[in-house]
């Protein structure tokens, strides 16, 4: 049985708790150092299938600004983040938009929506 | 030979000297064209110097430097109002910290009087401290009330715009590549924009004046670039530094590393003086900054280095003859040199303009214009207006109600005006030099993107096309397409 | 606009908006927020990443999301006026505020109280004196962030980031997501100032090398950056000769410090603190000039916007109470000193009325001077220990907040000290 101890910093919130993670045969069996329940969840994912939130912008027409900030509604597979960011570069939406509106549904078939981070009103030219 | 243009006089170089000459020439019935290789005027030495209008006690008596310095100083007093120049007549102090230096002050005063400088006086330590409380190491100083500080870019642009309103032409992005000659005389100037027919040529090409002269057939002098580095402080540091102009005692090589406050209230220390081969290298160096700080500390022990906001360097044009080279060339009969214009070049410029223009007028027989428009329209910076002037200006043009440069309180109206004036700004730095937007403590962090957008709008170009200064100095770029990227 | 405002607020970012809301909640009837940008929200509008609001709104928000919630609080309230695209030119000791915008021209506003919430600006290349030419392509990270996130343009393609504070780290990730190549992140200190989560998700995730104890010794390129020379530094942060190496790049993003933006404050007769670079304030966020309050980054640079809101709410409450004449005038002032490893502490003084109200709170926000593990924070007054808190980890980049228990107020003597016990 291969036992490994890995030290990592949790990124679920700005605390950045230092986690000590015990991995036996590729499975996380113990996590210490967390100050909330999200720590062990992060550790498990990080070892088996790391996930990240994505924040970026899409082009918007008719808004008070030319860009609309967007955020993934949930975490995405870490190795697909750059692909998702590339995809968003080609997206253009129309104002008005409300916070939480779905901008891209099921991005790249990964089961996660990309939503608007803010309202963007229609701008009278 | 095909000429794209014909002129009586072509002035090469759009710095303080070239523009001063152009303005003087435009008083006569002469068709004058100024060609400047850079995208804007005043990008050479005029852009990076101490901005001092010297009294004139420093240069050897009888030299061209001394004669034109004193005359130039007087002319600036006269032109200040006419051309709406930004000048503060602060007077200058040469500070002595040893008995030997006190002796040097006597020599300077004697020389100054011989040069025709008025009002020179030796001040006691107490008198100096009253004016400049931070000069704690001083024993006494030479006080020259006729000295001042000016805004060099503003002066060059004012000279150029005055010339343009009197029929002269300024062509930017126009580099001189050679000369067309017939029988030893220049008949045309080859430029990157075509050949301009010319009867007379003025060489005011700064550090390149020797190369221009050589192209024309005059190899009697060389110009060595001498770099001067500066450190500029935030306006709030003025009270920890100096209010006016303070020189150390001069050495043989230079007037020394001074401490001086600009017309806008920023104090600087510098310049050092290091000769170099390159005419392109304007890099500020660690050694240079250390040299300047060490020297300035001899006058002001507690330099507020935390208040430094920017550093820059300029190249002085030092001539091989030891003095200015002004007047008709010995080798080419219609080439007029205005070369080697290191300090006091800025102060001397209007006087040099006078000399050269008078000479060309005499030789050509051109008459003085009866309708010479000497004055430029008065332009007051928003921040210097009274509240009622500000309110009136905004009512006239809404854009004066939007402050773009927060540090210096420069409005969109002033920026648009600077872009659309006769020798207007076409780049971010061009806007900066004319309006001061970007010269404050945040150094363009807040206004840079906004100035870029205004330039794009006014010049009808896209944002990625906006340049900081020269070609290839783009500020921003388009985003990558979906499948693009660096990897 | 010839009316007397209860509260005039200079700056419409999270501090100004939170202060406005709190002033309204506490009875102020005429409030105005003046903002120089085209919309409210301040710097948050360009901080499109998440990590905001976990404390204050109990959910993880992006910067614009946090700004949206703050704006919702002040919107549609007739007592709260807002002006955007409006620059304050001057604030006077008698609480007159001069402002200007294109539509209304020059405006003169009079208030019973003024809250200063102008935020901060970025330290520049000139302030740290990086040698070299002055090509295009050198930006402060925040200025570049605005162009990338709000205007839609890149500052360049091959990027080096100087400074491993959060802004630099966030931009390292942002530029990578936009397809640029981030060559390196350089940090002059032997430790990073950014949140550990950002080292992981902004540098490690993108294989961007972090060079600690390194700095830029020259920037090359005449018109546009072509590269930089980097050197290792010693314990006095001086470059070590012989350690230089070059990195090719066309853009340098500087994340080398934030400076509270107190240009307007300096024109007032109020005391400034040279360590925080902000006004001296008491626990109500009132400055030494009566009726002038300050909150947010203009007082001291924060790392969590949640604390900014908390601080601004205090300022808003007490400005409103002051405007209504509800604050006691019979007070004593107690100095708060940061000692023994604590570099800065806000408030720098505590105002104690003779009769301390039941809802009085004294919360101290501080930063340590150097990183420590397993230390104790002790707040004392004379011999009395007002508070003792063990800190498993203390970093200069992470502000620490503690509250003095009300039961200990009667033990506050002539001075309060805040220090570490190692």
B230 and B303 within one domain: yes
Residue-number span of the structural domain to which B396 is assigned: 382-465
- Residue B158: give its domain's CATH number: 3.50.50.60
Residue C342, token pair as written in the block: 């604590």
Q: What is the mean pLDDT of chain A?
A: 93
Q: Does residue B484 form part of some domain? A: no
How far is the C-alpha of A43 from the C-alpha of A19, rounded, in Å?
8
pLDDT at B253: 64
B433 and B285 within one domain: no
| Contact call for residues B216 and B335 (beta carbons, < 8 A) | yes
Q: What is the mean pLDDT of residues C230-254?
A: 97
Domain final residue, candidates B300, B315, B330: B315
CATH of A3-48, one of 2.40.128, 3.30.519, 3.30.70, 2.20.25: 2.20.25
CA dihedral angle for residue C218, residue C220, residue C225, residue C227, rounded to 10 degrees: -80
Q: Does residue B486 form part of some domain? A: no
Task: Among B226-230, B336-340, B380-384, name the one with the lowest average pLDDT.
Answer: B380-384
Q: What is the mean pLDDT of residues C208-222?
A: 96
B69 and B174 within one domain: yes
Q: Does residue B482 form part of some domain? A: no
Q: What is the mean pLDDT of chain C?
A: 95
Residue of B272, B289, B477, B480 best to disrupt the C interface, most CBs of C under 10 A: B477
How many CA atoms are closer than 13 Å to the CA of B485, on its beta-carbon side? 17
C38 touching B (Cβ < 8 Å): no
| Superfamily name and number for C124-256 | FAD/NAD(P)-binding domain (3.50.50.60)
C45 touching A (Cβ < 8 Å): yes
Q: What is the mean pLDDT of residues C200-216?
A: 97
- Tokens 């003792």 belong to residue: C388
Instruction: Check if B282 is active-site.
Output: no
pLDDT at C77: 97
- Tokens 């709410």 belong to residue: C313
Number of domains in chain B: 3
Q: What are the CB-based long-range contacts (under 8 Å, 24+) for B383-388?
A: B383/B408, B383/B409, B383/B410, B387/C98, B387/C106
Residue in chain C lying closest to A8 (CA): C200
C392 touching B (Cβ < 8 Å): no
Q: What is the mean pLDDT of residues C251-273?
A: 95
pLDDT level of residue B476 (50, 70, 90 thresholds): very high
Kindly state the percentage of chain B with pLDDT values over 90.
Answer: 92
What number of helices (H) and strands (E) belong to chain B?
A: 12, 25
B133 and B5 within one domain: no
- Tokens 């170089």 belong to residue: B13
Q: For residue A39, give how far its alpha carbon lies from the nearest alpha carbon of chain C (Å).
A: 12
The structure's pTM equals 0.94
Q: What is the mean pLDDT of residues C207-233?
A: 97
Domain final residue, candidates B378, B393, B421: B378
ipTM (interface pTM): 0.93
pLDDT, tens digit, for every residue of B7-51? Answer: 999 999 999 999 999 999 999 999 999 999 999 999 999 999 999
pLDDT at B408: 93
pLDDT at B251: 76
Q: Does residue B188 form part of some domain? A: yes
pLDDT level of residue B3 (50, 70, 90 thresholds): confident
Give the residues across from B60 on adjacent strands: none
pLDDT, tens digit, for every residue of B263-303? Answer: 999 999 999 999 999 999 999 999 999 999 999 999 999 99
How far is the C-alpha of C240 from the C-alpha of C214, rounded, in Å?
9
Q: What is the mean pLDDT of residues C320-324?
A: 97
Domain boundaries along the sequence of chain A: 3-48, 55-116
Q: What is the mean pLDDT of residues C243-263?
A: 96
Q: Does residue B487 form part of some domain? A: no
Pairwise pLDDT comparison (C193 vs B169), residue with the higher score: B169
B311 and B243 within one domain: yes
Q: Is the pLDDT of residue A82 over 60?
A: yes
pLDDT level of residue B322 (50, 70, 90 thresholds): very high
CATH architecture, domain A55-116:
Roll (3.10)
B127 and B43 within one domain: no
Q: Is the pLDDT of residue C1 over 60?
A: no
Q: Does residue B62 form part of some domain? A: yes
Q: Which residue among B286, B387, B477 places its CB closest to the CB of C154?
A: B477
B261 and B307 within one domain: yes
Q: What is the mean pLDDT of residues B99-120?
A: 95
Q: Does residue B476 form part of some domain? A: no
pLDDT, tens digit, for every residue of A21-52? Answer: 999 988 999 999 998 999 999 999 999 999 99
Chain C (204-263) residues lying within 8 Å, Cβ to Cβ, of chain B: 217-218, 222-224, 263
Domains C1-122+257-327 and C124-256 share a fold: yes
For the domain spanning C1-122+257-327, the CATH number is 3.50.50.60
């Amino acid at each position: 049985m291969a036992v490994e101890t890995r030290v990592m910093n949790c990124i679920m919130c700005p605390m950045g708790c230092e986690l000590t993670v015990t991995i036996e045969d590729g499975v996380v069996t113990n996590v210490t150092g967390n100050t909330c329940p999200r720590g062990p969840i992060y550790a498990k994912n990080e070892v088996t299938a790391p996930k990240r939130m994505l924040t970026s912008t899409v082009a918007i027409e008719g808004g008070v600004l030319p860009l609309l900030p967007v955020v993934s509604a949930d975490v995405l597979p870490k190795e697909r983040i750059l692909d998702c960011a590339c995809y968003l570069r080609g997206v253009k939406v129309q104002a008005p938009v409300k916070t939480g509106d779905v901008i891209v549904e099921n991005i790249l078939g990964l089961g996660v929506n990309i939503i608007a981070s803010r309202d963007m009103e229609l701008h009278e030219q | 030979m095909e000429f794209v243009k014909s002129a009586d006089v072509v002035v090469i170089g759009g710095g303080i000297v070239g523009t001063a000459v152009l303005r003087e020439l435009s008083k006569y019935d002469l068709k004058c064209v100024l060609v400047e290789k850079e995208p804007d005027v005043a990008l050479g030495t005029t852009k990076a110097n101490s901005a001092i209008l010297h009294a004139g006690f420093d240069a050897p008596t009888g030299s061209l430097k001394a004669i034109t310095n004193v005359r130039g100083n007087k002319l600036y007093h006269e032109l200040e109002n006419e051309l709406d120049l930004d000048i503060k007549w602060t007077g200058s102090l040469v500070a002595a910290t040893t008995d030997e230096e006190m002796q040097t002050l006597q020599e300077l005063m004697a020389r100054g009087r011989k040069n025709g400088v008025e009002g020179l006086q030796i001040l006691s330590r107490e008198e100096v401290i009253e004016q400049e409380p931070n000069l704690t190491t001083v024993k006494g100083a030479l006080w020259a009330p006729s000295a001042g500080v000016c805004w060099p870019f503003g002066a060059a642009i004012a000279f150029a715009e005055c010339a343009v309103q009197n029929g002269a032409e300024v062509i930017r992005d126009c580099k001189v590549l050679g000369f067309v000659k017939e029988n030893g005389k220049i008949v045309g100037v080859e430029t990157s924009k075509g050949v301009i027919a010319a009867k007379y040529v003025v060489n005011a090409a700064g550090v390149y004046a020797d190369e221009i002269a050589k192209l024309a057939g005059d190899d009697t002098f060389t110009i060595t670039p001498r770099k001067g580095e500066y450190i500029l402080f935030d306006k709030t540091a003025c009270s920890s530094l100096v209010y006016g102009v303070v020189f150390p005692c001069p050495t043989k090589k230079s007037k020394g590393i001074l401490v001086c406050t600009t017309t806008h209230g920023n104090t600087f220390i510098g310049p050092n003086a290091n000769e170099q081969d390159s005419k392109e290298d304007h890099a500020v160096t660690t050694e240079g900054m250390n040299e300047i700080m060490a020297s300035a500390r001899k006058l002001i022990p507690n330099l507020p280095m935390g208040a430094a906001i920017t550093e820059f360097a300029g190249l002085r044009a030092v001539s091989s003859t030891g003095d200015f080279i002004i007047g008709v060339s010995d080798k080419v009969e219609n080439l007029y040199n205005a070369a080697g214009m290191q300090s006091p070049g800025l102060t001397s410029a209007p006087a040099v303009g006078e000399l050269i223009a008078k000479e060309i007028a005499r030789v050509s027989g051109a008459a003085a214009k009866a309708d010479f428009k000497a004055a430029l329209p008065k332009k007051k910076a928003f921040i210097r207006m009274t509240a009622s002037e500000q309110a009136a200006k905004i009512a006239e043009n809404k854009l004066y109600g939007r402050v773009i440069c927060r540090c210096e309180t420069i409005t969109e109206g002033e920026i648009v005006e600077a872009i659309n004036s006769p020798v207007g700004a076409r780049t971010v730095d061009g806007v900066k030099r004319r309006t001061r937007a970007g010269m404050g403590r945040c150094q363009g962090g807040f206004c840079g993107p906004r100035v870029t957008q205004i330039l794009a709008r006014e010049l009808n170009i896209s944002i990625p096309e906006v340049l900081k200064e020269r070609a290839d100095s783009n500020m921003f770029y388009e985003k990558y397409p979906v499948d693009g990227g660096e990897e | 606009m010839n009316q007397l405002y209860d509260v005039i607020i200079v700056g419409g970012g999270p501090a100004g908006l939170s202060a406005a809301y709190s002033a309204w909640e506490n009875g102020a009837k005429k409030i105005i927020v003046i903002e120089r940008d085209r919309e409210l929200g301040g710097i948050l509008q360009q901080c499109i990443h998440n990590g905001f609001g976990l404390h204050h709104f109990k959910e993880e928000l992006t910067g614009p999301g946090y700004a949206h919630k703050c704006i919702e609080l002040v919107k549609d309230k007739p007592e709260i006026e807002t002006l955007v695209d409006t620059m304050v030119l001057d604030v006077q000791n008698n609480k007159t505020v001069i402002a200007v915008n294109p539509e209304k021209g020059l405006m003169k506003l009079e208030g019973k109280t003024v809250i200063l919430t102008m935020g901060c600006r970025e330290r520049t290349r000139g302030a740290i004196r990086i040698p070299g030419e002055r090509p295009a392509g050198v930006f402060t990270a925040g200025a570049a962030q605005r162009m990338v996130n709000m205007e839609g343009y890149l500052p360049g393609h091959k990027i080096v980031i100087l400074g491993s504070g959060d802004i630099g780290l966030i931009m390292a990730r942002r530029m990578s997501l936009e397809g640029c190549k981030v060559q390196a992140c350089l940090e002059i200190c032997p430790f990073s100032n950014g949140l550990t989560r950002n080292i992981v998700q902004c540098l490690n995730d993108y294989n961007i090398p972090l060079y600690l104890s390194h700095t830029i010794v020259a920037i090359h390129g005449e018109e546009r950056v072509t590269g930089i020379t980097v050197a290792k530094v010693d314990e006095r942060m001086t470059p070590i000769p012989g350690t230089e190496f070059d990195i090719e790049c066309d853009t340098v993003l500087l994340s080398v410090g934030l400076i509270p933006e107190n240009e307007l404050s300096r024109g007032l007769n109020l005391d400034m603190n040279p360590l925080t670079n902000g006004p001296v304030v008491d626990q109500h966020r009132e400055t030494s000039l009566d009726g002038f309050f300050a909150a947010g980054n203009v007082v001291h640079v924060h790392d969590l916007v949640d604390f900014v809101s908390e601080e601004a709410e205090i300022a808003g409450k007490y400005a409103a109470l002051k405007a209504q004449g509800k604050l006691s005038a019979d007070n004593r002032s107690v100095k708060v000193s940061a000692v023994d490893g604590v570099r800065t502490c806000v408030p720098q003084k505590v105002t104690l009325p003779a009769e301390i109200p039941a809802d009085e709170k004294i919360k101290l926000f501080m930063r340590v001077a150097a990183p420590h593990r397993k230390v104790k924070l002790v707040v004392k007054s004379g011999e009395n220990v007002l508070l003792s808190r063990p800190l498993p980890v203390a970093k200069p980049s992470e502000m620490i907040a503690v509250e003095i228990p009300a039961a200990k107020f009667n033990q506050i003597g002539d001075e309060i000290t805040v220090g570490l016990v190692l």
